[in-house]
Structure 1
Amino acid sequence: MTEVKKSFPIKGMHCASCVRVTERALKKTLGVKDAVVNLATTKATVTYDEENCTPEQLAESVSKTGYTLDLEEKNEELRDEEKKKELADLKVKVIASLTSGALLLWGSFPGLMNTAPAILQNPFTQLMLALPIQFWAGLEFYKATIPALKHRTANMDTLVALGTTVAFAYSVFVSFFPEVVMDLGLEHMPYFDVSVIVIGLILLGRYFEAQAKSGTSQAIKKLIGLQAKTARIVQNDTEIDLPIEQVKIGDIVRVRPGEKIPVDGLVMDGESSIDQSVVTGESIPVDLGKGDAVIGATINKSGTFTYRATKVGSDTIHAHNIKLVQQAQRTNAPIQKL
């Protein structure tokens, strides 16, 4: 049995119910030992047996719940571009929804409609304003609702789709058959503004949520960006610049003033003041000399010195800090499990 633990992006999740349904589907998949779905990162961390389960089977289980588990390997830049495009599309839908909602409110709300142009008070004009918002801007609610109903589950999208559809359908009926409504003793009043404004406000909330998630991802990228890209290795009195990934334990590294320290190690020769604020938060540089430990990603402020690498790659203190932040993002709080 070969157990592996992998993280997969999941598209379409917007609420705690989405997380619960997706997590339950993954855990029911044959070969899965554990699955944790995090709404903040929209990722699923799955521990499974490679002999009995494949990523394709995980994707199939998730797709049955109405969501998408992304198996395609993409670099961070490509993912960022996709997120930017999604955010831009969402912004357009928010603006269109709230603009239409404001016009509909002006033309139908008691006390305001008396000041509105006659064309905005016309129920068929209101229908034309509401139609694209209901089935274009609100399309994602229907896309998530239909699979959920097939599997006899409900989520926030189900509630939004049901509520706005009822308001929209009633308003259409009132617009085309006002006599029937009046014969029943009901007020001849369409509610297009209700469905449109609800959709607009929900999408606005999702826009702010997407921006917040993007900000969190950017914070981690900035943390990763603090690492040095290359290291100056001393070999037989000759200096060679190597990518940081090629530095090995025991290599002799030379650092000049103003440069970042590539990896963790022990000073062999020279003295300097080191800015360790990126690791410790301490703004005052620390004086170090022979035998003292230096930490990767910190900045050499003054002297030139050489040191021997003791920790490289994912074993450095800075790499561990990045892992802790990423793990904190992926892990659900105990209250969420409750």
Structure 2
Amino acid sequence: MPLYEGIGLTEKQAVVIDIGAAYTKFGFAGESGPRCIVRTEIKCPETKQVKKVLNYSSEEELYDLLVEFIHVLYFRHLLVSPKDRRVVIVESLLCPTAFRETLAKVLFRHFEVSSILFVPSHLVSLCTLGVNTALVLDVGYVEAILIPVFEGVPVLHAWQAQPRAAEAVQSSLKASLLNINSEKEDFPESTIEDIKVRTCFVTSLTRATQLEAVDQPPDVVYREGGSEIVHIPGKVRETVYEVLFEQDNDQMSVSTMILDAIIKAIYFILSSDITTYHIKLAEWRETDNLPAEWLSVEV
């Protein structure tokens, strides 16, 4: 924790927790980055097997998993008492109500935190940029969610989502590598994820439309566990992310999501601007001091 915290001049920093389907980021408010990023999984108290926190069958099971998981976050990684600090939960606007309520119960009843603030992930991501309006695309592990934000307000009626994200990319990469490296029976998820991050990339639109005609990027040799060698062709490295831009059965892709969100958000933005214009126009008329530039505005 920061050195100046012990001086007693400021209130203790709040704990920020962002629980994702694959990874959880957590740390202290006011710092430039999270203290740690860990997998969202914990050893189940009943079966004693490692299980993903979001793979629960009932709210009672979710409660037990969250108790164990948050205990590890506080007492193994942050090394602070939950009672001493406020909590900020960064969540998706589409987060299930059952998960949100169960998480609040765990923090209030079991860990006795003083307060909890739930903030939308699409909105707070703009704080690092210093802007109030943006088109925010969150490509997570299970799904990609796009929500426009206008003047600090998420435009919910323009939200878009598709069930293709990092998990779909890893599944495509795994199938391609098993087809090429026929001697391998399977790849661990951690290995596939490491290969994806280290060797694969999103190509440009120009190259994507001419993948068969352009020169392929160089092949890569990946060492698994320091001994086994995995051959990764350049074509696989360049095309594995194309699954995000291919239309699914609902004719949805990342490209169509962006276009549809822009079209739907335009109506909200225009209606907001027109309402603001009429309010200001009425205010100026009441004071009989109407600026000349307002007279020339056409709505």
TM above 0.5, yes or no, is no
Q: Comparing both structures, which one devotes a greater share of its residues to helix?
A: 1
The bucket for the TM-score relative to the shorter chain is: under 0.3
Greater relative contact order (Cα < 8 A, sep 6+): 1
TM-score computed with the length of structure 2 as normaliser? 0.27
Q: Normalized against structure 1, the TM-score is what?
A: 0.24
- Structure showing greater Rg: 1
